[in-house]
Amino acid sequence: MVHGAAPGHGSIQGVTSDFLAACRREPTSRTPVWFMRQAGRSLPEYRKVRAGTAMLDACATPELVIEVTLQPVRRHHVDAAIFFSDIVVPLRAVGVDVEIKPGVGPVIAKPIRQASDLDGLRALTAEDVPYITEAVTGLVRELGDVPLIGFAGAPFTLASYLVEGGPSKHHEKTKALMRSEPALWHALCDRLADISLEFLRVQVGAGASAVQLFDSWAGALSRADYLEFVAPHSTKILRGLGDSGVPRIHFGVGTGHMLKDFADAGADVVGVDWRTPLDVASRQLGPQIAVQGNLDPALLFASPEVVEREVTRILDEGRDAPGHIFNLGHGVLPDTDPDVITRVVDLVHERSAR
Ligand code: 1CP
């Protein structure tokens, strides 16, 4: 066991957690906090255990996945663990030639440009990812009463890597394909939705107690394009998990112009980046949706006074939301001082204790 969660609500199978309570808009003993990209990235103990193993090989090695997922929970005492994996893991599992290049990100050997390229994108089954089932099962045992968040990439963000061939600033090939060949686009996103839905089902089936769908790059779209070309596919994933009973978090960056659409896709919690204050976001989202966020990850590099002021402001702005999970507005940046992250966890817990 890692450490006991604070007494709280959000009980599933006899486990109590402020994180799950906040997701379900139930009272909490204090505001729960975890960080996107808390596993890996900034931790020296991560760099030590990962040395000599390629990222995607690490993701297929349960003992390594378990250790890296536990590291930030041990060090920072966050209220939830995020599964150490990557959004391209299920793509590799169905045979896509993808590699994560250090300092670059996912690189695809044969990008998708025409209908015949979809042949390489078959459906995912649990048998394709036995190492995921094994890692989640082991983690849930180790974590005790700390919930594990499973995750997957949403169709737009995954499609961007597949169509561009790697990380992209402007997503120009992706947007061009989406608008010029809508039938191919929808066929691609439908397959990606099935793959991500199954990847999440495997994690939930093995014991993950919440899921987050990362549509990191959807904010690059206009609202009209999001609704026509993306929302139906993300909805298929989130609604497809409706009967699982686990809270569903839907996150994107720069999505202030379509937060309500992110909720309508079937989310219980909407992740908000630092550009939109949480009280403004919550007014748009209404009483049925909890919010997650939204400290600017770059401000973890500012003075302690600035960090403290920002944490206090965000707690204040989140206070009237039906549920607030403290997080960053996007992932932890690689050069972040881990001690600052620990300090933020302590501040959130101290300042929000009820
Ligand atoms: O060698 C390394 O350490 C590789 C760096 C790394 C790590 C640690 C990558 C490459 N992915 C990960 C893990 C990862 N990826 C997690 C782990 C759990 C956590 O701590 O949160 C998660 C949730 C992801 C999800 C992910 N991968 C997203 C969505 C979240 C986000 O940050 O927006 C995206 C867009 C990716 C693609 C990806 N994988 C890796 C990189 C560097 C990138 C982004 C590249 C780009 O800029 O497009």
C-alpha dist (Å) from residue 132 to 99, 142, 215: 18, 15, 21
Task: For the chain of 354 residues, list the mean pLDDT of each consecutive stretch of 10.
Answer: 43 71 98 96 94 97 98 98 98 98 96 96 98 98 98 98 98 98 98 98 98 98 98 98 97 98 98 98 98 98 98 98 98 96 98 95
Tell me, using a 6 A CB cutoff, whether residue 46 lines ligand 1: no
Give CB contacts under 8 A, 24+ apart, made by 98-104: 98/56, 98/161, 99/54, 99/56, 100/54, 100/55, 100/56, 101/166, 102/55, 104/166, 104/167
The single-letter code of the amino acid at 162 is L
All domains in the chain, ordered by first residue? 10-352 (3.20.20.210)
Determine the atom of ligand 1 nearest the C-alpha atom of 83. 18
pLDDT in the model for residue 182: 98
- pTM above 0.85? yes
Angle at the Cα of 84 from the Cα atoms of 206 and 167, rounded to 5 degrees = 125
The protein residue with its alpha carbon nearest to ligand 1, atom 33, reads 216
78: left (phi > 0), else alpha (psi -120 to 50), else beta?
beta
C-alpha–C-alpha distance, residues 10 and 80, integer Å: 13
C-alpha dist (Å) from residue 18 to 99, 282, 323, 328, 332: 37, 19, 10, 18, 22
Q: How far is CA 321 from the centre of its chain?
A: 20
pLDDT in the model for residue 3: 45
Helix (H, G, I), strand (E, B) or coil at 29: coil
C-alpha–C-alpha distance, residues 33 and 41, integer Å: 18
**Tokens describing residue 168:** 């992209």
Ligand 1 center to 328 CA (angstroms): 15
**226 is a catalytic site residue:** no
Pocket test for ligand 1, best of 86, 139, 156, 272 (most atoms within 8 A of CB): 86
Tell me, using a 6 A CB cutoff, whether residue 82 lines ligand 1: yes
**319 is a catalytic site residue:** no
Tell me, using a 6 A CB cutoff, whether residue 156 lines ligand 1: no
Determine the atom of ligand 1 nearest the C-alpha atom of 214. 29
The single-letter code of the amino acid at 15 is V
Ligand 1 center to 308 CA (angstroms): 27
Q: Within 144-242, where are the H helices?
A: 155-164, 172-180, 182-205, 223-225, 231-240
DSSP one-letter code for 312: H
pLDDT in the model for residue 16: 83
Tell me, using a 6 A CB cutoff, whether residue 100 lines ligand 1: yes
Tell me, using a 6 A CB cutoff, whether residue 197 lines ligand 1: no
pLDDT in the model for residue 2: 52
Give CB contacts under 8 A, 24+ apart, made by 8-13: 8/32, 12/209, 12/245
Helix (H, G, I), strand (E, B) or coil at 6: coil
- Nearest CA to 157 out of 286, 285, 253 is that of 253
Asked if 76 contacts 70 with a C-beta cutoff of 8 angstroms, the reply is: no
DSSP string, 315-348: HHHHTTSS-EEEEESSPPPTT--HHHHHHHHHHH
